[in-house]
Structure 1
Amino acid sequence: MLRAISALLFYVIASFPLFAQSVQFNQYTLGSGDTVKITVYGQDDLSLETRLNDVGVINYPYLGEITVIGMTVGGLETYIYEGLKGDYLINPSVSVSIVEYRPFFINGEVKNPGGYAFQPGLTIDKAAALAGGYTERASKTKIFVDRIVNGEQQTLSADRYMQVLPGDIINIEQSFF
């Protein structure tokens, strides 16, 4: 019995980072640069795939212009479902998925600063590796991330193991020996 409880406790603790990441992505809001795919099963004329521009407005059949920046995937699904239900379809089966996340950017003391394709599970260390690695003068403690939180731009102090989100701007400062 004690062994079973210990195994269960280990599983819960070990899976917490995955759970925390899935919670983050359930709250993920769409932004410019994301590519979304909208599928209405059995209705090819209502399905589309598009990259969101800076304005974040898509022109959707029968519903017109929809501002999708700031919406979650689930929120967009519900909006389209409610808009099509009744007048056009009896019970539409709507699916919205993210085909490609917007890029993240890394500046400062990395060998190849710039924008890179986001990958789930990305940490600052992994982002720096994608950018060619840290330079010799890179500080491992003076790391800042510019991120939009609740619609506002914030600068967060970070460590090398912090999760990177799409659209983040990572700044690696210089270290003074």
Structure 2
Amino acid sequence: MKRRFRNPALRLSTAYRALGLCTLLAMPMSAAADFNLEPGDKVRVTLTGLQDLSFEAAIDAHGEVNLQWLGQFQAQGLSTDALEQLVRQDAAGKIVKQYDQNGEIYIIQLDGDEIEIARNGYRPIIIGGDVARTGQIDFRPAITAREAVALAGGVRSRLLADDVTIDPIQLLRWQTTYGQAALQHAQGLVTAWRASSELAQDMDLAPPSQASVSISPRVLKELVAEHVRIRTINQENEAGERAYFEDAQFQAAERIRILEEQKVELAKAVAADEEEEARVVALVQKGLAPGSRMADTRRTTVLSATRLLEVEEDLAATSLILTRLKRDQEQFDQERSLRLLQERRAASLSVRDARHQMDTISKYLAGASDEIGTENLITDIDYSVTIFRVVDGQLQQLGADKLTQLLPGDSVEVSVQEITQEVPLTE
């Protein structure tokens, strides 16, 4: 067993460490992003030269952090530097067992300076109110309320309220978006049709009708023609693959037939040679034939048996080739079916999403169709931001604007404000 200790002279005295810790806790934060640790934050502990002992830990609801073999520490309210100093002081003198490349154990006595603690994750921001996606947002230093709203998908429009009207420019945007969704819907339907016809190998399967889409007959015709070309190319490629498999299997089967015939003939020859060899042996034993004739007969028998063995080996190898060809063809057919099924599923999902978007925009357009020309037109959408933050254990409501920088664990409430402008009626 090896024993290896670090230089004891490198270790600070306990009193000196305590003084350093108190000094650090009394220092103000040097950077705005160096937030004190709170429940939900995560840290990573690394040891210089002992990477295998590195690990991650999270601050629990009681403000404590379990640093495994280093112990349990109260981390709430501390900076990562302060926690690092606290852990270093506590770990000084601890013994760590390690194994070298030869499997021999050796012991390291920590002086504490090997330990480094860094933040590995912040408490998330919670955003709610008039945004597209409420819920959690990963915190990053210097994130503003405006950026958090953008990460939440932007503000949620309330233009469908009965007491508001629609800006013609917004109406044009909706019409453009509806056209894009309608094209996506038609493309999905045509793709699903093409995949279904290939799966069923039914080239007479009727494509989507004009009544099932919301695009012009010309565009639908172009989409169908494009997928007919894709289907034709796929058929040609698949036909080439199948022709290869069929030809290779035919050749292997024909070779097997020839080898089996040769095997039968050689088996007969070996039997005849063995019979002749037995007869010659009897003659030699009776002195009716020279001994050299027995050697010649034995040589003939060995050659016939060797040739039979070679044919049997060739027959076994060819049979294996035929089996692999059949398996490869089955795998090709399975992969083809799987590819077409995945194409059809992806197309169906695209159709569903496009249909949902079309239905939603249809409601917008339906609500806007009779509103153009009325007195109030919405020309802008603004929103206000309210921040809820826990300070000294108490939840506080803070006034904020879009450029206010958020802190880890903040809750943000977004409220949309419609700004209207009076315009004269048009005749």
In the superposition, the TM-score normalised over structure 1's length comes to 0.74
Q: Which of 42, 45, 59 does residue 38 from structure 1 map onto?
A: 45
What amino acid maps onto 2:66 in structure 1? N
Q: Is the 8 A contact 2:125 2:138 kept in 1?
A: yes
Give the distance between the partners of 2:111 and 2:60, measured in 1 at CA.
32
Asked if residue 50 in structure 1 is aligned to residue 57 in structure 2, the reply is yes
Residue matched to 1:171: 413
Residue 128 of structure 1: CA displacement? 0.4
Give the distance between the partners of 1:128 and 1:101, measured in 2 at CA.
18
Residue matched to 1:8: none
Identity %: 32
1:34-68, Cα deviation, whole Å (9 max, x unpaired): 22101121345753212333233233356532121
What amino acid maps onto 2:402 in structure 1? R
| Structure 2 residue runs without a partner (length 5+) | 1-29, 96-109, 159-380, 420-427
Q: Is the 8 A contact 2:142 2:405 kept in 1?
A: yes
Q: Is the 8 A contact 2:58 2:65 kept in 1?
A: no
Asked if residue 111 in structure 1 is aligned to residue 132 in structure 2, the reply is yes
Report matched runs for 1:68-147 at 5 Å. 68-86=75-93, 89-136=110-157, 139-140=382-383, 142-147=384-389
Q: Is the 8 A contact 1:139 1:172 kept in 2?
A: no
Give the distance between the partners of 1:36 and 1:170, measured in 2 at CA.
25
Residue matched to 1:159: 401
Residue matched to 2:67: 60
Residue 156 of structure 1: CA displacement? 1.0
What amino acid maps onto 1:41 in structure 2? T
Indicate the SS of the match to 1:81.
Answer: helix
What amino acid maps onto 1:136 in structure 2? S
Q: Are the structure 2 counterparts of residues 139 and 163 from structure 1 closer, same or farther at C-alpha, using a change threshold of 3 Å?
A: same
Work out the number of aligned pairs and report it: 155
Give the distance between the partners of 1:152 and 1:38, measured in 2 at CA.
31
Q: Are the structure 2 counterparts of residues 105 and 25 from structure 1 closer, same or farther at C-alpha, using a change threshold of 3 Å?
A: same
Give the distance between the partners of 1:63 and 1:57, measured in 2 at CA.
13
CA-based RMSD of the aligned residues comes to 2.6
Q: Are the structure 2 counterparts of residues 131 and 62 from structure 1 closer, same or farther at C-alpha, using a change threshold of 3 Å?
A: closer
Q: Are the structure 2 counterparts of residues 62 and 131 from structure 1 closer, same or farther at C-alpha, using a change threshold of 3 Å?
A: closer
Specify which structure has the higher proportion of helix: 2
Give the distance between the partners of 2:118 and 2:77, measured in 1 at CA.
15
Give the distance between the partners of 1:149 and 1:24, measured in 2 at CA.
17
Give the distance between the partners of 2:391 and 2:64, measured in 1 at CA.
21
What amino acid maps onto 1:40 in structure 2? L
Specify which structure has the higher proportion of strand: 1
Give the distance between the partners of 1:40 and 1:87, measured in 2 at CA.
13
Give the distance between the partners of 1:174 and 1:133, measured in 2 at CA.
11
1:130-172, Cα deviation, whole Å (9 max, x unpaired): 11101235753x3211123355432210000111221110011
Q: Is the 8 A contact 1:46 1:61 kept in 2?
A: no
